Structure 1
């Protein structure tokens, strides 16, 4: 079924956005910086893809899950969505990992005070 891959990417991004919204990790904490980081990361990886395509390392392959729309030879429309999702996921995981020590410290403080 065409479009399943793009749908999976968008549903996954929605799940990460829900976690981000709940814990205010990236986009809900600093939307401008998050958008800039995602745009920069996506542009970098698209340039990386262009080099890979030009050298023959990356090929699209043939899958019934793709929409069948190409932005360029060997570059399906799903690729920028995947790369943006990858960048967003990395930001959310990084922000969550940075917050873990703070959560552990808060838990220790609560246990010490008996609250």
Structure 2
């Protein structure tokens, strides 16, 4: 038995957990909802695999990197870990895009106060710093410069 492929799946899965924990992207943002979404995703793909196995479209490979442990005939343990990895990767990427690309107010980081690189504390919440609230239609535009000079 060789566990190389399983280890190659578990290491990046662990890295994604650390990334999720650091930025609170998916499971660490809302554990209950995250576990439900992850469980449904894994169940759908596992059902898909079981149907494909039952219809003869899919079978267990004989690679040297596989552990040899099967959950069911033609369903290696690595397949379950891969499905979990795939679903978790998708949701962490969704969280990253929502947080750092789209920059929606709902995706704003809320951090607990704690030490930073300079030793100070910070709490980040609310809209992004570059957010400027829209001006209402009746509000006149001012041409005043900073410092009071016009």
| TM-score normalised over the length of structure 1 | 0.85
Q: Does 1:66 align with 2:66?
A: yes
What is the Cα-based RMSD across aligned positions, in Å? 1.9
Match of 2:98 in 1: 98
Equivalences, count: 109
Query: 1:101 Cα shift?
Result: 2.3
Alignment of 1:1-115 (within 5 A): 2-99=2-99, 100-102=101-103, 106=128, 108-109=130-131
Large movers: runs of 4+ above 2 Å: 105-109
Distance 1:75 1:42 in 2: 14
Query: 1:107 Cα shift?
Result: 6.2
What per-residue deviation string (whole Å, max 9, x for no partner) do you get for residues 56-100 of structure 1? 111111111111011111100111111111111111101111122
Query: 1:22 Cα shift?
Result: 1.4
Structure label with greater radius of gyration: 2
Unpaired runs of 5+ residues, structure 1, are: 110-115
Structure with higher RCO (Cα < 8 A, 6+ apart): 1
Query: 1:106 Cα shift?
Result: 3.2
Unpaired runs of 5+ residues, structure 2, are: 105-126, 132-150
